Amino acid sequence: MKQKTVMTHFLYIALLACSLVACSQTKSKQEDKTMVSQAAPNTGTPSFNADSAYMYVENQVKFGPRVPNTTAHKACGNYLASELRRFGAKVYEQEATLTAYDNTGLEAKNIIGSFNPENDKRILLFAHWDSRPYSDHDPDPANHRKPIDGADDGASGVGALLEIARQLGQKDPGTGVDIIFFDAEDYGTPEFVDDYKPDTWCLGTQFWAKNPHVPNYRADFGILLDMVGVKKATFFKEVTSLRKAPNIVELVWSTARDLGYGKYFINATGGAITDDHEYVIKGRNIPCIDIINYDPESDHGFGWYWHTQKDNMDNIDRETLKAVGQTVLEVVYNRKKK
């Protein structure tokens, strides 16, 4: 802050000197101030490429369901780490055997890509990359034990973040950014086995919160992208996010509105959702929000396709990916203003 003030004064003095020495016309203080503020980096946000994000979603789905302990899961995990590396991130692959609700040992991998790793001002962006081994909300009970494509539930958040990572590699955002793809979020107790058990979900996040990839990991705030790719998605202000990070909710929703994405980012409260952000908040004391497609009309709060065989590429829409991706990019590149 202090440094910024000094810099601003320096610029101001330089501009003033320039206008007095080099130019014959005298400039008022007001004009010089305007010039300084025009030089501020608020127009430098790159354009989020929705075609590119769509391709990253599609590429994940093409592996098949990314269920832990399958070859599709392993291959996709390697793909995600290599993409982050290609974009210039410092990549950590955190492997662990995590215990599922039914005692299955899950060979899980959290994938972390750090940009500007030495900067202690940091933003954490995250999504889960695994897909659910069950379709326990499918209208046809014969499908309940089938894994889902997880085009929206899993691949969409990761696809948007890969495009953000690509942009970060091309233009320095001037802040530290960590992108984490968490594993084993969606292996929670299926409805045909037992009632809802929160701690059987988000296993990768729970592990990372206790064992961060760097000791004493800190970020100023975090943003979770969960189910951010379907046509006509609606993002309501989620209750835990509002309680724990109200200023980040306001920042993100007002940024979206200013960019013209108000039809996606609804100015109303949604439900309280147990999701990866909750464990990052609790475990690391980092204020986090969840951008998640929420349907107040449905009985479970999520989209009609949620945890069914219909969560596939047919529902993925570039315009929704753009709304979310551009909004998050704007927040990252404009953080000096806030």
Residues at the contact surface with Zn ion, assessed by CB under 5 A: 132, 153, 186
Q: How many CB atoms lie within 10 A of CB 114?
A: 20
* Closest approach of ligand AHN to the CB of residue 10, in Å: 48
State the minimum distance, in angstroms, from the CB of residue 112 to ligand AHN: 20
Decide: is 155 part of the binding site for ligand AHN (CB under 6 A). Answer: no
The pair of three-digit structure tokens given for residue 338, joined into one six-digit string: 């806030």
153 binds ligand AHN (CB under 6 A): yes
Give the whole-angstrom CA distance, residue 65 versus residue 262: 32
**Contact by Cβ (8 Å): 201, 100:** no
* Shortest separation between residue 190's beta carbon and ligand AHN, angstroms: 10
Contacts 24+ apart (CB under 8 A), 252-258: 252/223, 252/289, 252/291, 252/327, 252/328, 252/331, 255/327, 255/330, 255/331, 255/334, 256/323, 256/327
Chain residues 58-77 in contact with ligand AHN, contact rule CB under 6 A? none
Site for ligand AHN in 227-286 (CB under 6 A): 273-275
Nearest-approach distance from CB 279 to ligand AHN, in angstroms: 11
Candidates 319, 273, 325; CA nearest to 295 is 273
Q: Which of ligand AHN, Zn ion, none binds 163 (CB below 5-8 Å, type-dependent)? A: none
Whole-angstrom distance, CA of residue 26 vs CA of residue 41:
26
- Classified as helix, coil or strand, 105 is strand
The partner in contact with residue 274, picked from ligand AHN, Zn ion, none with C-beta cut-offs of 5 to 8 angstroms by kind, is ligand AHN
Interaction partner, residue 324 (Zn ion, ligand AHN, none; CB < 5-8 Å by kind): none
Q: Find the shortest distance in angstroms from Cβ 45 to ligand AHN.
A: 28
**By CB under 6 A, residue 138 contacts ligand AHN:** no
CA–CA dist 269, 106 (Å, integer): 35
Provide, rounded to whole angstroms, the least separation between the CB of residue 201 and ligand AHN.
Answer: 6
**Which residue from 186, 295, 311, 330 is in contact with ligand AHN, where contact means CB under 6 A?**
186
Name residue 194's amino acid: D
Report the residue number, 83 or 153, with the smaller CB distance to ligand AHN.
Answer: 153
Closest CA to 222 of 255, 244, 204: 244
Taking CB under 6 A as the criterion, the residue among 126, 134, 201, 333 binding ligand AHN is: 201
Compute and round to an integer the Cα radius of gyration of the chain: 22
Report if residue 226 touches ligand AHN, rule: CB under 6 A: yes
- Partner from Zn ion, ligand AHN, none binding residue 19, C-beta < 5-8 Å depending on class: none
The alpha carbon of residue 12 and the mean position of all alpha carbons in its chain are separated, in whole angstroms, by: 37
Binding partner selected for residue 125 from ligand AHN, Zn ion, none, CB under the kind-specific 5 to 8 Å limit = none
CB 161 → Zn ion: shortest distance, Å?
17
- The residue (of 45 and 60) whose beta carbon lies closer to ligand AHN is 60
Identify the burial level of 141 via C-beta atoms within 10 angstroms of its C-beta, where 0-12 means exposed, 13-18 middle and 19 or more buried. Answer: exposed
Residues in contact with ligand AHN by CB under 6 A are: 153, 186, 188, 201, 226, 273-275
